Amino acid sequence: MSLPFNIASHLDTSLRAAAGQLGMLDRGFEPEVRVADPTHGDFQANGALAFAKREKQNPRVLAQQIVDRLGGLAGDFEIGLAGPGFINFRLKPAALLAWLLAYDSETHLQTGAARARAGQKWIVDYSSPNTAKQMHVGHLRSAVIGEAICRLLAFSGAHVVRDNHIGDWGTQFGKLIWAYKRHLDPAALAAEPLEEFERLYKLGNNAAAADSAVLTAAQQELVRLQNGDAGNLAIWQKINDASLAAFQQIYDQLGIKFDVTLGESFYNDKVDRVYRELTAGGLAQESEGALVVFHPEHPRFKTQPFIVRKKDGASNYASTDLATILYRAEHFQVDGAAYVIDFRQSDHLAQLFLTARKWFEKTGRKLPQLEHVDFGTVLGENNKPLQTRDGEHIRLKALLSEARERAYSLVTARSPEAPEAERRAIADIVGVASVQYADLAQNRSSDYVFAWDKMISLEGNTAAYLLYAVARVHSIFRKAGMDVLQPPIAGASAPATAAEINLARKLTQFADAVQLATNSLRPHYLCTYLHELAGEFSTFYGADKVIVDEAPVRARRLLLCHRTLVVLETGLHLLGLRPLERM
Ligand code: ARG
């Protein structure tokens, strides 16, 4: 007996085959397989209803005809009809056991999942902060969500390129270089370079606002930089290097490693081709000295132009982003590109994607699939965008240190006797994981409220709750003197008690949760699943003693513990969180 990894898609395939025999497939039948409410079964297929309604047939009769053709599933499932024509599937205990035995490691889970996007290549554009500035809390979301999306895509078989598309080329460098040449504090630069760049930028900005001679001088610095002046380029390079080194400290804490960091400056020499091709294809036109693209079919973009070259001839965000798409298509030859960017840039991306589609069509190129993975704002507990008391952006660095401190208090309250170094090490993981998880656990398109007490807690849909479940399984094995890497599960019998069955069925739904999260590029589906799984585990652990004398029962309970551990750790890993053995 071999039950496939993704049971929902296995059912989908079987239902399609049955509907095909009935001639329903050509008429648009969709199986609509879903995870079911446990009182009805493990999965249900609702497709007969919509189909019967369209065809003016009796849905129950139709569903029965389908069921009559599902004989091949009868070994693994109890199949039943309910209500007006729902088809319910309940996995037989032996089938649950077989699934649990087969998927015994992250590698085997991945082998099961890896069919969905096998052979595809995706580039994920995330984090992408602007240099010469500190990363603030707004950059957290792109980094955290982006990393989870990279891991989900890779897990489903895609080859993933992680690209940090930094903003390293812009008008801010004029004022910054002007101030750098006159007011640099070398000691401050050595100690906290980003603080020093921010100070210099503000200084330059204020001076330029107060004195038009300074403004002109700053603009000249920018022109010199753009024309390749060696001195200005060297300063620019220094600023970028120091910025990237500071960003790296954050990435290290979040476990992020980019494959490439191709910022806006990389595309400097690639924008002319964009202008040329857009103009030659009749897509772009001159308007008040600028080069712009209108989209006549769009309600807003027919009058709101996409400015691809500024009237002073300089490139901008649009030109570099267009050149970036071309480079990703030609150089990386990607099938898809995901842009993990704030929803406030939705118009920019919509115009970008529309323009790229027409441009690629005109030039006979194949456009990669382009996805704006948008996200909402991080709010404070007052429901306003999260800021410091004096209205400044909260720096990511300070935020992560606070998370570690707060987690340290939590860990110390729980285990005051543990050695200080161990409490620190645990708190470092719990603190950062809590912040990451709070960001991932909610639908990314919504705003989310940043609330310390809720996120660093052992209760609720939190990282600590999941990490605690992982640590608990480890302690079961530790206390029984067993090696978690070689669980004694030989001779396990099939799940039998209600708690065992509920836990086992939840484990088999991992595949479905991963697929949902990957297809929609929404990690919160996986979070919800992991939280429910940890809940089932906790119910099971409270109801059924694991280390009992009866060998087949003990083996199957250890099997359930072990597979819970494997799925939780795999899930945490997919989200970009580090698990713990003790907590
Ligand atoms: N640097 C930009 C910002 O901070 C984000 C860049 C996102 N990526 C892109 N290809 N536009 O807003």
Domain harbouring 69, CATH code: 3.30.1360.70
Mutate to test the pocket of ligand 1, among 128, 169, 319, 324 (most ligand atoms within 8 A of CB): 128
Q: How far is residue 351's CA from residue 304's CA, in Å, rounded to a whole number?
A: 10
Does one domain contain both 484 and 555? yes
Q: Verify whether ligand 1 is closer than 6 Å to residue 535 (CB atom).
A: no
pLDDT of residue 171: 81
Whether 179 and 274 map to the same domain: the answer is no
Q: Is the CB of 169 under 6 A from ligand 1?
A: no
| Separation of alpha carbons 533 and 505, rounded Å | 10
- Do residue 544 and residue 436 come from a single domain? yes
CATH number at residue 269: 3.40.50.620
Task: State residue 45 phi and psi, 5-degree precision.
Answer: -120, 120
Residue 143 counted as domain residue? no
Question: Looking at the domain assignment, is residue 137 inside a domain?
Answer: no
Q: Let me know whether 459 and 480 are in one domain.
A: yes
Q: Are 515 and 113 in contact (CB under 8 A)?
A: yes
Domain match, 257 and 281 both: no
The DSSP H or E segment spanning 95 is helix 93-102
pLDDT of residue 390: 77
Indicate whether residue 267 lines ligand 1 (CB < 6 A). Answer: no
Find out whether 113 and 6 touch, Cβ atoms under 8 Å: yes
DSSP 236-285: HHHHHHHHHHHHHHHHHHHT---SB---GGGGGGGHHHHHHHHHHTT-EE
Q: How far is the CA of 167 from the centre of ligand 1 (A)?
A: 6
567 in a domain, yes or no?
A: yes
Q: Is residue 581 part of a domain?
A: no
Print pLDDT tens along the chain (583 aa): 467 889 999 999 999 999 999 999 999 999 999 999 988 999 999 999 999 999 999 999 999 999 999 999 999 999 999 999 999 999 999 999 999 999 999 999 998 887 778 899 999 999 999 998 888 888 899 999 999 999 999 999 999 999 999 999 988 899 999 999 999 999 999 998 889 999 999 999 999 999 999 999 999 998 899 889 999 999 999 999 999 999 999 999 999 999 999 999 999 999 999 999 999 999 999 999 999 999 999 999 999 999 999 998 889 999 999 999 999 999 999 999 999 999 999 999 999 999 999 999 999 999 999 999 999 999 998 888 888 777 788 888 889 999 999 999 999 998 999 999 999 999 999 999 999 999 999 999 999 899 999 999 999 999 999 999 999 999 999 999 999 999 999 999 999 999 999 999 999 999 999 999 999 999 999 999 999 999 999 999 999 999 999 999 999 999 999 999 999 999 999 999 998 998 8
Is residue 425 located within the same domain as residue 513?
A: yes
State whether the beta carbon of 112 lies less than 6 angstroms from ligand 1: no
Answer whether residue 112 is part of any domain.
Answer: no
Q: Is the CB of 341 under 6 A from ligand 1?
A: yes
Q: How far is the CA of 534 from the centre of ligand 1 (A)?
A: 36
Task: Tell me, yes or no, whether 417 and 359 share the same domain.
Answer: no
129 pocket-lining for ligand 1 (C-beta < 6 Å): yes
What is the Å distance from ligand 1's center to 98 Cα?
47
Residue 485 burial (CB count, 10 A): 8
To test the pocket of ligand 1, the residue of 345, 351, 373, 375 to mutate (highest count of ligand atoms within 8 Å of its CB) is 345
CB 247 less than 6 A from any atom of ligand 1: no
CA distance linking residue 43 with residue 14, whole number of Å: 13
How many whole angstroms from its chain centre is CA 14? 31
In a domain, 62, yes or no: yes
Q: Are residues 281 and 231 in the same domain?
A: no
Phi, psi of 285, deg, nearest 5: -140, 160
Shared domain for 240 and 273, answered yes or no, is: no
- Among 169, 341, 355, name the best residue to mutate to test ligand 1's pocket (greatest count of ligand atoms within 8 A of Cβ): 341
**Nearest residue by C-alpha to atom 11 in ligand 1:** 321
The model's pTM: 0.94
Same domain as 413, residue 533: yes
Q: Could you tell me which residues are beta bridge partners of residue 302? A: none
**Residue of the CA atom closest to atom 5 of ligand 1:** 128
| Total domains present in the chain | 4
- Determine the distance separating the centroid of ligand 1 and the alpha carbon of 266, expressed in angstroms: 14
Q: Indicate the residue type of 110.
A: Q
Ligand 1 neighbourhood includes 374 CB (under 6 angstroms) = no
Residue 124 Cα to ligand 1 middle (Å): 12
In whole angstroms, how large is the CA radius of gyration of the chain?
Answer: 28
String of DSSP letters for 41-64: -SEEE-HHHHHHHHHT--HHHHHH
Range of the structural domain that residue 338 is part of: 265-373
CATH of the domain at 532: 1.10.730.10
Show the beta-strand stretches assigned E in 49-158.
Answer: 77-82, 86-91, 121-125
* 264 touches ligand 1 (CB under 6 Å): no
473 occurs within a structural domain: yes
| Integer Cα distance of 583 and 425 in angstroms | 10
Residues 523 and 444 in one domain: yes
Please state the atom number of ligand 1 nearest to the C-alpha of residue 348. Answer: 11
| Amino acid identity at 77 | F
Domain boundary among 236, 262, 288: 262
439: which residues sit within 8 A by CB, 6+ positions away?
Answer: 140, 141, 144, 145, 378, 448
Q: In what side-by-side order are the strands of the sheet with 284-287? A: 284-287, 290-293, 306-309
Is residue 50 exposed (0-12), middle (13-18) or buried (19+ Cβ within 10 Å)? middle
Residue 534 has a pLDDT of 98
Element (H, E) at 193: helix 193-210
Residue 30 to residue 48: CA distance in whole angstroms: 8
Note the pLDDT of residue 1.
Answer: 46
**Both 257 and 272 in a single domain?**
no
Instruction: Using the 3D structure, point to which of 91, 117, 146 is the last residue of a domain.
Output: 91
CA of 264 to the centre of ligand 1 (A): 9
Residue 72 DSSP code: G
* 163 found inside a domain: no
